[in-house]
């Protein structure tokens, strides 16, 4: 099954409705506009830096959400196996 970058990003961000706008849509739109155009190195670097910055923000946000989930699960006495898996993910670099 073919999936465009926007749909893939939405699915990876946990969106159930992949037709709803996602946090990275603006960047994928910009990349699609640039597709097929000859870009100089400065333009390519600018686009990649913008995407990199947004991805870093998304990772920080997701890590915070995982921490919150882990704390909530531990507080509620939920299966520690899940909490341990979340902690293992958080400890990855």
Determine the pLDDT at residue 1: 44
DSSP H helical ranges for the chain: 5-12, 25-34, 41-76, 80-91
Tens digit of each residue's pLDDT (9 = 90 or more) over 35-76: 666 667 787 778 778 878 888 888 888 888 888 887 877 777
Looking at per-residue pLDDT, the higher value among 83 and 55 belongs to: 55
CB 27 within 8 A of CB 54: yes
Render pLDDT for 1-29 as a digit per residue (tens, 0 to 9): 445 656 666 666 665 565 666 666 676 67
């Amino acid at each position: 099954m073919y999936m465009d970058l926007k749909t893939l990003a939405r699915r990876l961000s946990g969106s159930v409705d992949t037709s709803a706008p996602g946090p990275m849509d603006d960047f994928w739109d910009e990349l699609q506009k640039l597709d097929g155009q000859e870009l100089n190195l400065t333009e390519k670097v600018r686009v990649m830096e913008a995407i990199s910055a947004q991805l870093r923000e998304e990772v920080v946000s997701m890590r915070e959400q995982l921490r919150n989930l882990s704390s909530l699960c531990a507080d509620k006495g939920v299966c520690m196996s899940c909490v341990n898996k979340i902690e293992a993910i958080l400890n990855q670099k």
